[in-house]
C-alpha cells in the first residue's frame, strides 16, 4: 500500500510537485485502478499549483493537494470538464475518470482527475486557457 504524501511546508511541497520519481508510484496506481498502464513514459506536466503528469503522451493525471484550496479546485475542474463534454465542437481535454488515492477518514484523500492530453501544446499538455482563447468560435471574432 502506498504511503500518503505529506508535506510539512509549502517549500517542501514545491520541491516535489514536478518530481516524477516521487509521484510515479501514485501515477501507476491510478493507471492500474482504471485499467490502463503506462506503456512508455511518465513525465511531469507544466509546473503549477498541483502535481500534473503526462502518461504516454495521451493522458494527464492531476493530483489535488490539500494546499491552495485543492478540494475546491478538484470539484470546479471536474465540473468544467463535464460542461465542456456537452460542446463536442469545442476542442478541449476530456475527463476520462476521477477518484481519490485514499479513502476518507485518514488524512487528505488526494483526489485526482485523469484527462485526455491535447497534442500541439508544450509536450501535449496544452493549458485549457490557451485552448479557450485560441479555438473557441466566440473568442476568434474578437
pLDDT tens-place string over residues 77-119: 999 999 988 888 888 889 999 999 999 888 899 999 999 988 7
Contact 13, 67 (CB under 8 A): yes
Which domains does the chain carry?
10-140 (3.30.200.20)
Mean pLDDT of the chain: 83
Is pTM beyond 0.85? Reply is no
For the stretch 89-93, contacts whose Cβ atoms lie closer than 8 Å and that sit 24 or more positions apart, written own/partner, are: 89/137, 90/135, 90/136, 91/118, 91/131, 91/135, 92/118, 92/128, 92/131, 92/132, 93/60, 93/117, 93/118, 93/128, 93/131
Residue 23: which of 10, 5, 6 has the closest Cα?
5
Amino acid at each position: 500500500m502506498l504511503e500518503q504524501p505529506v508535506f510539512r511546508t509549502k517549500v517542501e511541497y514545491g520541491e516535489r510537485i514536478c518530481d516524477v520519481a516521487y509521484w510515479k508510484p501514485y501515477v501507476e496506481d491510478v493507471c492500474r485502478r482504471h485499467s490502463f498502464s503506462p506503456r512508455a513514459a511518465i513525465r511531469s506536466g507544466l509546473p503549477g499549483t498541483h502535481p500534473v503528469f503526462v502518461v504516454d503522451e495521451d493522458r494527464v493525471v492531476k493530483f489535488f493537494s490539500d494546499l491552495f484550496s485543492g478540494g475546491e479546485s478538484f470539484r470546479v475542474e471536474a465540473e468544467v470538464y463535464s460542461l465542456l463534454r456537452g460542446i463536442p465542437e469545442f476542442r478541449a481535454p476530456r475527463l476520462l475518470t476521477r477518484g481519490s488515492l485514499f479513502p476518507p477518514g485518514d488524512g487528505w484523500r488526494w483526489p485526482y482527475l485523469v484527462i485526455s492530453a491535447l497534442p500541439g501544446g508544450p509536450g501535449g499538455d496544452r493549458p485549457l486557457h490557451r485552448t479557450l482563447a485560441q479555438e473557441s468560435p466566440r473568442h476568434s471574432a474578437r
